[in-house]
Structure 1
Amino acid sequence: MSLVVAGSRSSLDYYLVRAELGDGEPAAKAEAVVVEEFTRQTDFTTVGLDSAGWTPSGAGWWSSASLGRSMRTDATLLARVVPTGRGVAESVYRELGGGQLPDEAVLRTYFRDHHPIPTAPPLRLGPAQPPAGFHERRVYRVLFAKDLQEEQLVSIRAAWSTPTGGTPGSVAAGHRLRGGDQFAWELRRVGRGLAWCLDLTALLRGAASDEVGPILSELTHTMRGRGLIPVTTERFA
């Protein structure tokens, strides 16, 4: 088993939780700031999640594994959660009376209730052997909660230059060459339309690649930028 590593070399994920109106609909104004970080194996699969939240009525930052789960499974809460960047989170934190948002090294010290995510050895999805000229074939699946609007899908297709007439069930796709390695990905609905997944196939020239992690991170960031919430990253080959 690969060594478990924290994602301290990358930035944290930031979310706003909007207030709830009397009829159950989310209001435009945020009432909380949440920061998160996944723990990953050295092959970039997810093994855990840390999170911390802050509300103006609370006594500082608090940590809750159950909140991290609920942000991905509770439909009512999902409707109120908005992925955002650090700049917006800083502004909201200041507007809510928190002052200067702590830097990420300090925010990580508020992670006190770790949520482990079960893992299993990689399943075989597709041919066991890589194509000629490649050392290894990897297949990753990144699962996301929440939904996409049609304009968001159009934006993703344009960003990835999605070809017409792709794989059945795929709504957006892209590909890239990096240092002799080939990467191709597809976005599709899963779970009877309740979630989304992004499947990445990596064909590696050598025994390792410095590009797998950055590309997975970039693709996940793209989906967060369109409003989806990452749940886990699995490996199938």
Structure 2
Amino acid sequence: MSDGVQAAGASLDYYLIFATPDDRDRGAPPLGILVEEFVLCDDHTAAGIDSVEWSSATGAWGDSSATSRDIRTDALLRSRVIAVSRHDAGDAYQACGGGEPPPETEIRTLFRERQPLPAAAPLDLGATGSRFYRVLFAGELGGGGLANVRSALRLEPIDDPLARVIGAATATAADHTFTWELRRIGPGIAWCLDMTVRLGTGPESAIGALLHHHRQAIRGRA
């Protein structure tokens, strides 16, 4: 796009929101469904989040900017939310009386208010021809979630006496070399995925594809 901002493009993210953490854990019907899409700059950094929320009480789609913001800042709300696939979100939508879930092209037309994210270009490491990206994740992974993420990201253990860096991995794609680390930011506060890209001659779209893959891997296994 001419303004250098574009939707992530691969798929939307779906979350089921329950009345209590117990309802979430026992699979009770959700109160609503939150749908999000990251909006990216041309350099693959996130500029904002588009979202919309469906309520099982009203059967209608409505504004979700507060919910989208709060699941990243409110630990109690996060305990009532679970990330799901589009298929599982569709099953919940039908079970709550919503009928056939709308296609993603239609859901995107319901986005009304964009939640802006702090804009910052990836760190340019200068003469090395490398870039540095950081992806933040709120909350705690837990033992099972951490094991799942380690496997999904193919992390090798790192000897870190303070256990801040959980593991690292390296791969090459489209002539770029990627190195990533999973790092803890304070106990129970947040995690981050740090990725360094040594640029090659291939298309830069490979950078966005790997960032998207890693973000979805953590989202789906945490």
Q: TM-score, normalised by structure 2?
A: 0.88
Residue 209 of structure 1 corresponds to which residue in structure 2? 204
Residue in 2 aligned with 1:54?
54
- Could you tell me which of 24, 27, 31 is aligned with 2:23? 27
Matches within 5 A, 1:61-210: 61-123=61-123, 127-130=125-128, 136-166=129-159, 169-206=164-201, 208-210=203-205
Is the contact made by 2:158 and 2:165 (CA closer than 8 Å) also made in structure 1?
A: no
Pick closer, same or farther for the CA change 1:175–1:2 going to 2, 3 Å.
farther
The runs of 5 or more residues in structure 1 that have no matched partner are 131-135, 228-237
Confirm or deny that 1:6 pairs with 2:7. Answer: yes
Whichever residue aligns with residue 177 of structure 1, its letter is T
Task: Select the structure that is richer in helix.
Answer: 2
Kept after mapping to 1: 8 A contact 2:179/2:197: yes
- Which structure exhibits the higher relative contact order, with contacts defined as CA atoms closer than 8 Å and separated by 6 or more residues? 1
Per-residue CA deviation, residues 15-72 of structure 1 (Å, 9 max, x unaligned), is: 011122xxxx441322211100111101111111111111121251002211111111
| Percent of pairs with identical residues | 36
| Contact kept? 2:157, 2:168, Cα under 8 Å | no
- Do the aligned residues in 1 keep the contact of 2:176 with 2:199 (CA within 8 Å)? yes
Q: 1:192, 1:181 → 2: CA distance? A: 33
Which deviates the most, 151-160 or 10-19?
151-160
Shift of 1:165: 3.2
The answer (yes or no) to whether the contact 1:143–1:195 under 8 Å persists in 2 is yes
Structure-1 separation of matches of 2:152 and 2:195: 16
Structure 1 stretches of 4+ with a deviation exceeding 6 A read none
1:178 counterpart letter in structure 2: A
The alpha-carbon deviation at position 75 of structure 1 amounts to: 1.5
Equivalenced residues, count: 215
Contact 2:45–2:122 (Cα < 8 Å) also in 1? no
Amino acid across the alignment from 2:23: A
User: Aligned runs of 1:37-52 on 2, under 5 Å?
Assistant: 37-52=37-52
- Partners of 1:115 and 1:210 in 2: how far apart? 24
CA RMSD of superposed structures (Å): 2.1
1:144–1:207 Cα change, 3 Å = same
Q: Provide the TM-score with structure 1 as the length reference.
A: 0.83
* Offset from partner CA, 1:62-87 (integer Å, 9 cap, x none): 02211111111011111111111101
Cα separation, partners in 2 of 1:218 and 1:183, compared to 1, 3 Å: same
